[in-house]
Structure 1
């Protein structure tokens, strides 16, 4: 009986390891409040924005940022065109440039984790961008199989952590093993 439990635990852990082999996704795109010409949907076609840009450029009909839930659904068969893998040592980022407290540019992407520079209250980094603009960069960690986390502000505050699938697997295996040793 104990061999069956250990075998089932092995299968469970193997499944979790397989899931961890896939990288979670981050949104990777740019939105500009004042860009309305739908033919300029790449950084190359909008050269005045090359300094701060991540292809593709999503153009909305109003002055509102794109609805990322709608985007994720609309690109369900081609999500790689609006996302990047959050590989080891990387984090998802949402960089917003504000002017007069209104978002002017939002760049979603993958970046290097710099938790030591984050504001402990917001989980974000803020700084002056020049000409009265303020830049805010908010990192987060996505989960495999879920909508990328960088659709909004930081999900996790600096220093907060989540249990990994492997740790959960080892704990469940240990509990099952102890239960069946007692019986």
Structure 2
């Protein structure tokens, strides 16, 4: 099985994440896409993150009706911050018959050489790169084993959604209804 891994804080998961994950699962050679909830991204501050189990639950709710997508909390039991190479190594050991493909935004391509053991990621895994709004990376800057995928671009961010919630503005259509209800019931991002 060929599994795409879309890592993220998903703080909260939104329609852009879902459209991208579903597009990758249904319009590439991937059999499925797992959304890997990262407890702490080493490149992002943690002070705006809601609890990892809340974020995991929101992803679970968001993909419940989509058989092409899965959710993983694999990094919850790993040292924090989590590094992609460590997670890939662990997953490959646990699911030795699976082929794992890293899915990342093109804005990460210039930063990729700074990732922990980036050369090992490229040696053992394919990387599918999707377009990001405002990014000027081109396929010419791709590293070996990177493939650019012409996926839809949605200029929506979790930061914007959190700001809307704090300002008591509607987030309808930006997140699935179940996620919006979860946020409201648990008073997240207020």
What's the TM-score bracket when you normalise by the shorter of the two chains? under 0.3
TM-score (norm 2): 0.22
The TM-score normalised by the length of structure 1 is: 0.22
- The structure that is helix-richer by fraction is 2
Structure (1 or 2) with the greater strand fraction: 1
